[in-house]
Amino acid sequence: MAKAPQAAGLHRASLTKLHDLDAALELMYYGWRGMTLEADAYLAKQGLSRPHHRILYVVARRPDIAIGALIEILGISKQALNRPLNLLVERKLVTSKRSPEQHRSKLLRLTEAGRRIEQRASDHERKVLREAFDRVGASGAAGWVGVMEAIADSN
Amino acid sequence: MAKAPQAAGLHRASLTKLHDLDAALELMYYGWRGMTLEADAYLAKQGLSRPHHRILYVVARRPDIAIGALIEILGISKQALNRPLNLLVERKLVTSKRSPEQHRSKLLRLTEAGRRIEQRASDHERKVLREAFDRVGASGAAGWVGVMEAIADSN
DNA sequence: ATTCTAAAGTCAACGTGGTTGACATGAGGC
DNA sequence: GCCTCATGTCAACCACGTTGACTTTAGAAT
């Protein structure tokens, strides 16, 4: 976990389009990168990366989530979760306690520091989105949401 | 290189939203996954994965591209390109020839088989986009493009 | 012709994000 | 006391990326 992501892909375009939807396809790629670029750079400065952010993001929105539920949501294996989560606990960004009644599962929460980092990383992403939405106005934003929902639900 | 990507993330949502843009942020995540899911599954069946597809995609749109230019566009190192590209050449999906006059650089092209796989993989992605665009109509699609361009160009 | 340089190829070491499989621990249910 | 479930941990593996250090190839320059 280190290293800021590099330039990559340069400027989009420069490729001739073979199909009418190639431009849209590339926009999805560069859009994803555009949204995450600053956030990844910020996380890298903190010695963290995307998987850590995903954990922080989910735990922030589901305080007292158990490990098993977190695994489900992230869609990764228990072992894959282990390392990044332990790092977050070591760094005191996440606390892991057994609850009073339900001792069987551990409950995860963000510490103040964890909340701060989650917020800042996500803020970078939200900032990019906000500026884009502002640029195109409410109707454009609504269109974007409609398309993305259709894509997200296409599986 | 093998294994189809697994479910992961389940259904989107189920997370409480801390900010007004959280929904959009998650839409970007699930949108990217939604677009690439089928394509990745298809590629996995061919024993290929995303990096191979990126190579095929670029070479298809820039026939006779040199290795150096490909590295630039993909934004990865020469060594990182080497393995997947060699696999593609071994499988006769890509040909690599020195040109008559410019012997210094090799020129890459897709074979018929390479073109076919590139097309099918990209078709899966374009299909998802097309259905989404059809669902929201031309104005929604235009909004989507506007937002994505703003995001892509935000760096 | 020899030397210099640019493009490409190759090797080794490493980091990180995943995967399985196997096994240990901790705590509630019966 | 045992069973079971949630969690933790170890080892092996794979894919994808990185640097660094070289070699090979072939055009360019003196």
- Is A126's CB within 8 Å of B25's CB? yes
**Which tens digits make up the pLDDT trace of B40-80?**
999 999 999 999 999 999 999 999 999 999 999 999 999 99
Residue B135 burial by Cβ neighbours in a 10 Å radius (0-12, 13-18, 19+): middle
Closest C-alpha to B35, from B145, B138, B116, B126: B126
Contacts of B126 (CB under 8 A, 6+ apart): A19, A21, A22, A24, A25
Is B124 touching A (CB cutoff 8 A)? no
Q: Is A18 on the interface with B (CB under 8 A)?
A: yes
Closest residue in B to A118 (Cα–Cα): B18
pLDDT in tens, B87-117: 999 999 999 987 666 567 889 999 999 999 9
Rounded to whole angstroms, what are the CA distances from A16 to A35, B62, B88, B124? 24, 7, 21, 19
Can you tell me whether residue A97 is helix, strand or coil? strand
Q: Is the CB of A84 under 7 A from strand C?
A: yes
CATH number of the B22-152 domain: 1.10.10.10
- How many H helices and E strands in chain A? 5, 3
Q: Please judge whether B131 and A154 are an interchain contact, meaning their C-beta atoms are less than 8 angstroms apart.
A: yes
Positive or negative, the CA dihedral B4, B5, B8, B11 is negative
Judge contact between B119 and B59, C-beta under 8 A.
no
pLDDT given for residue A10 in this prediction: 54
pLDDT tens-digit series, residues B129-149 = 999 999 999 999 999 999 999
Q: Where are the domains of chain B?
A: 22-152
Residues of A in contact with B152 (CB under 8 A): 12, 27, 30-31, 33-34
Q: Which residues of chain B have a CB within 8 Å of the CB of A35?
A: 25, 28, 151
CB-CB under 8 Å, B10 with A61: no
Nearest residue on chain B to A60, alpha-carbon basis? B18
> What is the residue-level pLDDT of chain A in tens, covering all 155 positions?
433 334 455 566 689 999 999 999 999 999 999 999 999 999 999 999 999 999 999 999 999 999 999 999 999 999 999 999 999 999 999 999 876 666 678 899 999 999 999 999 999 999 999 999 999 999 999 999 999 999 998 87
B126 pLDDT higher than 70 = yes
